[in-house]
């Protein structure tokens, strides 16, 4: 193998500069021209060891065979002495047996590669060598991408998933583990060094440099220089919110891991950003005419482009004096409730308190990185407090929603939390509607990840199979664009959950693994992601009957997101299935109260149907199930539960249209198959459910 294709991890290569990387690129290109039709061996060491020849997977079940290939690929020369390899992988075996094991592993490798016409492993009497012109390592590809100004998607995905180099191979031997630890540190240092040079390279676009700085921070959350670069670039783009969030993440990481604060240079940069010293970096252009709105790039959150909303202090109006604590309390409570949700991103009240209502909305949006602003007035008229609230889009100043509240003065504090909750839960669907309308007018290639997710949701709501599969494609595209956006992974997990539940999965086991992987990634990216925690808990109950683990996850979910309607919704069925029906009903009802306009309300109603059925309250179960069916007749889980509730009431004839629809949607459905994996912890409850389904007309 040429040195240009070899990724070395010795001490001299850690500080390789951009000139050397450019040389690597040139040499690699020349090698590519010389390769002709030679089989291309690709070795990936991030997240384990994967081997392909000409993009076809090489199946090597022996982990030591894979480890040997990775070791040779990561050494500078591509070769190693037999005794060194034997001692590395079989240190507890006598020399004769270790060498015999090594010979067998080499034979396995050569046989597996030889099936693809690849002769890259050469076994000499004293050495084993990896040689050839068509060999490449994933780390080398990542370095080339970084040198060209791109943040490697593979690196992002593995880092966000917590997948280290040679993950799962630490247990082969203590000596091999020591080598892995050194290799990981050296590879990370090499990648971070390349990222440093690229995000400081002004020949790349600002967007590229921001992405590269974000990647450096993902690899090393304590990297202050990368954090300062990201903060400065975001602030100069007018996105103050993302800049300050980057600082907050660094502050927390340094405090948690090193018990220290950021350096003086970093704190000074934060002060400059808060003082508005970057506001003039991208001045607003005046409108071209009085009736032509200013075209601005919509502010985007750091992860995928979720909408950012700023709530300004409520302005006192009218002749009567309005105590300042009225307005302050409303601001604090509304921000507090929104902050407990996964979306939208809400700006801290400490940041919005300084603004007055006579400040231009575009100036506010630019200063805070917000795309939407909420304003309101408070008026005291006799014995009543009157509130008027508006939600406006920053770029055009268009009012998207307005409402008024009128409460007696003595009861204002009693009603304050309810008013703030009403404002918060109304804002979320209004913001989603506005973002979805905007995305419909854009070409697919122009859409950011968040808009793609909204379009996917709209298709998912139909629960029609072609549209549902199209939604899966949109979610995958969104994940490719923003792999670090936790909410996207949560949405993808939900998609897999529905796919399995609807009976549309051709490989339920694989989809279950994908579901768990997506939920775990969302949680690793955001440990306080209550929605992902609750969804994971729900599926632990549904697919594995792991009730204790599910309850622990639900406790974590609601501690993190006590006001998130979806987290509450997911928490209901587990309690129903373990026999705590009263708690299941309470949680489902609370979820509906928090999100009465949710486009997925039919699922909330179905979960309340489950809770009532578990309690033996078939009348209530049938009522809520029929509401859900009227909203969406394609939700098979609800059709089944509602039919069972009607059968429990002795009204099986009324259930026949529902069971006919189930068979239409799931032609191979059988009650016995469903009951064998049904989630009720009590056998009697499970048998009762199966009996009711058969009575309703479903095939046993």
User: Does residue 296 register a pLDDT over 60?
Assistant: no
User: Does residue 382 register a pLDDT over 90?
Assistant: no
Residue of 288, 291, 273, 289 whose CA lies nearest to 230: 273
Q: What is the pLDDT of residue 698?
A: 96
Instruction: Please compute the mean of the pLDDT values over residues 645-651 and round it to a whole number.
Output: 95
Pairing of strands 372-381, 384-393: antiparallel
Does 570 or 432 have the greater pLDDT score? Answer: 570
CA–CA distance, 299 with 303 (Å, rounded to integer): 12
CA–CA distance, 287 with 166 (Å, rounded to integer): 55
**Shared domain check, 429 and 489:** no
Q: Which of 43-52, 313-322, 388-397, 592-601 has the lowest mean pLDDT?
A: 592-601
User: Does residue 645 register a pLDDT over 80?
Assistant: yes
**Shared domain check, 493 and 613:** yes
In a domain, 197, yes or no: no
Phi, psi of 616 (to 5 degrees): 80, 10
Domain final position from 232, 258, 279 = 279
What pLDDT digit, counting tens, does each position of 79-130 carry? Answer: 899 999 999 999 988 989 999 999 999 999 999 999 999 999 999 889 999 9
Reported as type and span, the H/E element at residue 315 is strand 315-317
**Shared domain check, 361 and 274:** no
Q: pLDDT class for 482, splitting at 50, 70, 90?
A: confident
In a domain, 455, yes or no: no
In a domain, 284, yes or no: no
Does 344 or 442 have the greater pLDDT score? Answer: 344
**Shared domain check, 663 and 551:** yes
CA–CA distance, 377 with 391 (Å, rounded to integer): 12
Could you tell me which residues come within 8 angstroms of residue 126 by beta carbon, excluding any fewer than 6 positions away? 81, 82
Among residues of the chain, what percentage have pLDDT more than 70? 77
User: Does residue 458 register a pLDDT over 50?
Assistant: yes
In a domain, 303, yes or no: no
Q: pLDDT class for 237, splitting at 50, 70, 90?
A: confident
Q: What is the pLDDT of residue 132?
A: 75
Residue of 345, 403, 332, 335 whose CA lies nearest to 371: 345
Q: How many Cα neighbours within 13 Å face the side chain of 573?
A: 28
Residue 173: strand, helix, or coil: coil
**Shared domain check, 483 and 611:** yes
The end-to-end CA distance of the chain, in Å, is 63
Distance set, CA 134 to CA 3, 105, 145, 166, 509 (Å): 12, 22, 19, 22, 36
Kindly give the interhelix angle for 63-74 and 95-114, rounded to the nearest 10 degrees: 80
Instruction: Tell me what the pLDDT averaged over the chain comes to.
Output: 80
* Helix and strand numbers, DSSP H then E, in the chain: 29, 13
Q: Which residues of 262-289 are buried (b: 16+ CB within 10 A; e: fewer)?
A: beeebeebbeebbeeebbeeeeeeeeee
User: Does residue 14 register a pLDDT over 70?
Assistant: no
**Shared domain check, 477 and 411:** no
Q: What is the pLDDT of residue 336?
A: 63
Widest pairwise Cα distance in the chain: 99
Q: What is the pLDDT of residue 234?
A: 85
Q: Which of 31-35, 267-271, 420-424, 512-516 has the lowest mean pLDDT?
A: 31-35
**Shared domain check, 349 and 274:** no
What pLDDT digit, counting tens, does each position of 655-678 carry? Answer: 999 999 999 989 999 999 999 989
**Shared domain check, 146 and 30:** yes
Residue 395: strand, helix, or coil: coil
In a domain, 214, yes or no: no
DSSP code, position 61: -
Q: Which residues of 576-614 are buried (b: 16+ CB within 10 A; e: fewer)?
A: bbbbbbebbbebbbbbbebbeebbbbbbbbbbbbbbbbb
Angle at 535 between CA 529 and CA 537, to 5 degrees: 100
CA–CA distance, 250 with 261 (Å, rounded to integer): 9
| CATH assignment of the domain containing 566 | 1.25.40.10
| Range(s) of the domain holding residue 667 | 462-695
Q: What is the pLDDT of residue 353?
A: 66
In a domain, 336, yes or no: yes
Phi-psi sector, 54: left (phi>0), alpha (psi -120 to 50), beta: left
Q: Report the 10 Å Cβ neighbour count for 655.
A: 28
Q: pLDDT class for 329, splitting at 50, 70, 90?
A: low
Pairing of strands 345-346, 56-57: unpaired
| CATH assignment of the domain containing 424 | 3.40.50.10070
Q: How many Cα neighbours within 13 Å face the side chain of 535?
A: 28
Q: Which of 61-75, 133-147, 152-166 has the lowest mean pLDDT?
A: 152-166
Strand partners, 121: 130
Q: How many domains does the chain have?
A: 4
CA–CA distance, 583 with 588 (Å, rounded to integer): 9
User: Does residue 358 register a pLDDT over 80?
Assistant: no
Instruction: Please compute the mean of the pLDDT values over residues 161-176 and round it to a whole number.
Output: 82
In a domain, 139, yes or no: yes
**Shared domain check, 427 and 356:** yes
**Shared domain check, 596 and 513:** yes
Residue of 94, 81, 88 whose CA lies nearest to 124: 81
Q: What is the pLDDT of residue 641?
A: 96
**Shared domain check, 531 and 435:** no
In a domain, 298, yes or no: no
The answer to whether 472 and 511 have CB atoms below 8 angstroms apart is: no
**Shared domain check, 398 and 471:** no
User: Does residue 291 register a pLDDT over 60?
Assistant: no
CA 599 centroid distance within chain? 21
Q: What is the pLDDT of residue 24?
A: 33
The answer to whether 691 and 672 have CB atoms below 8 angstroms apart is: no
User: Does residue 535 register a pLDDT over 60?
Assistant: yes
| Strongest mean pLDDT among 21-35, 197-211, 326-340 | 197-211
Residue 306: strand, helix, or coil: coil
Q: pLDDT class for 304, splitting at 50, 70, 90?
A: very low
| Strongest mean pLDDT among 13-17, 57-61, 314-318, 349-353 | 57-61
């Amino acid at each position: 193998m040429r040195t240009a294709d070899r990724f070395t991890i010795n001490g001299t290569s850690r500080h390789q500069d951009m000139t050397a990387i450019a040389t690597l690129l040139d040499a690699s290109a020349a090698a590519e021209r010389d390769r002709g039709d030679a089989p291309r061996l690709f070795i990936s060491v991030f997240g384990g060891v994967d081997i392909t020849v000409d993009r076809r997977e090489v199946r090597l079940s022996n982990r030591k065979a894979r480890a040997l290939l990775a070791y040779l690929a990561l050494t500078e020369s591509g070769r190693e002495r037999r005794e060194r390899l034997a001692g590395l992988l079989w240190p507890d075996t006598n020399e004769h047996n270790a060498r015999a094991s090594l010979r067998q592993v080499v034979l396995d490798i050569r046989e597996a590669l030889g099936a693809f016409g690849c002769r890259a492993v050469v076994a000499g009497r004293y050495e084993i060598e990896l040689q050839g012109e068509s060999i490449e390592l994933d780390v080398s590809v990542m370095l080339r991408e970084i040198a060209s100004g791109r943040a490697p998607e593979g690196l992002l995905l593995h880092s966000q998933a917590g997948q280290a180099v040679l993950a799962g191979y630490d247990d082969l031997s203590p000596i091999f583990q020591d080598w892995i630890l050194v290799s990981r540190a050296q590879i990370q240092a090499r990648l971070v060094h390349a990222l440093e040079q690229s995000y400081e390279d002004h020949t790349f676009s600002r967007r590229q440099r921001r992405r590269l700085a974000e990647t450096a921070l993902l690899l090393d959350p304590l990297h202050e220089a990368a954090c300062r670069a990201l903060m400065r670039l975001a602030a100069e783009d007018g996105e103050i919110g993302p800049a300050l969030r980057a600082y907050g993440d660094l502050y927390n990481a340094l405090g948690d891991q090193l018990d220290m604060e950021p350096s003086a240079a970093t704190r000074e940069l934060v002060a400059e950003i808060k003082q508005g010293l970057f506001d003039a970096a991208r001045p607003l252009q005046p409108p071209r005419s009085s009736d032509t709105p200013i075209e601005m790039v919509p502010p985007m959150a750091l992860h995928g482009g979720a909408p950012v909303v700023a709530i300004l202090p409520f302005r006192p109006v009218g002749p009567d004096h309005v105590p300042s604590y009225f307005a302050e309390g409303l601001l604090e409570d509304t921000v507090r409730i929104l902050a407990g949700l996964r979306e939208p991103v809400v700006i801290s009240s400490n940041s919005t308190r300084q603004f007055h209502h006579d400040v231009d909305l575009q100036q506010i949006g630019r200063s805070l990185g917000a795309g939407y602003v909420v304003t309101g007035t408070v008026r005291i008229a006799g014995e009543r407090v009157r509130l008027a609230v508006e939600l406006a889009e920053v770029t055009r100043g268009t009012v998207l929603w307005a409402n008024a509240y009128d409460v007696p003065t003595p009861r204002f504090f009693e009603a304050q939390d309810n008013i703030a909750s009403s404002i918060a839960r109304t804002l979320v669907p209004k913001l989603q509607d506005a973002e979805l309308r905007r995305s419909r007018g854009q070409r697919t290639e122009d859409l950011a990840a968040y808009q793609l997710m909204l379009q996917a949701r709209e298709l998912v709501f139909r629960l029609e199979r072609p549209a549902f599969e199209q939604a899966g494609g949109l979610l995958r595209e969104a994940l490719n664009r923003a792999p670090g956006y936790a909410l996207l992974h949560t949405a993808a997990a939900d998609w897999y959950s529905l796919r399995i539940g609807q009976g549309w999965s051709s490989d339920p086991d694989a989809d279950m693994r994908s579901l768990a992987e997506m939920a775990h990634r969302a949680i690793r990216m955001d440990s306080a992601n209550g929605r992902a925690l609750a969804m994971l808990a729900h599926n632990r109950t549904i697919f594995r009957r792991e009730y204790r683990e599910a309850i622990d996850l639900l406790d974590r979910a609601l501690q993190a997101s006590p006001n998130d309607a979806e987290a509450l919704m997911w928490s209901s069925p587990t309690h129903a299935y373990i026999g705590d029906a009263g708690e299941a009903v309470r949680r489902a009802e609370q979820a509906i109260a928090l999100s009465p306009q949710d486009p997925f309300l039919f699922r909330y109603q179905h979960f309340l149907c489950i809770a009532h059925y578990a309690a033996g309250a078939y009348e209530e179960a049938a009522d809520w199930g029929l509401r859900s069916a009227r909203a969406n007749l394609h939700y098979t889980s609800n059709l089944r539960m509602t039919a069972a509730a009607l059968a429990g009431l002795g009204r099986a004839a009324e259930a026949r249209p529902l069971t006919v629809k189930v068979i239409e949607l799931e032609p191979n459905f059988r009650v016995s198959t469903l009951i064998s994996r049904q989630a009720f912890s009590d056998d009697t409850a499970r048998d009762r459910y199966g009996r009711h389904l058969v009575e309703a007309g479903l095939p046993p």
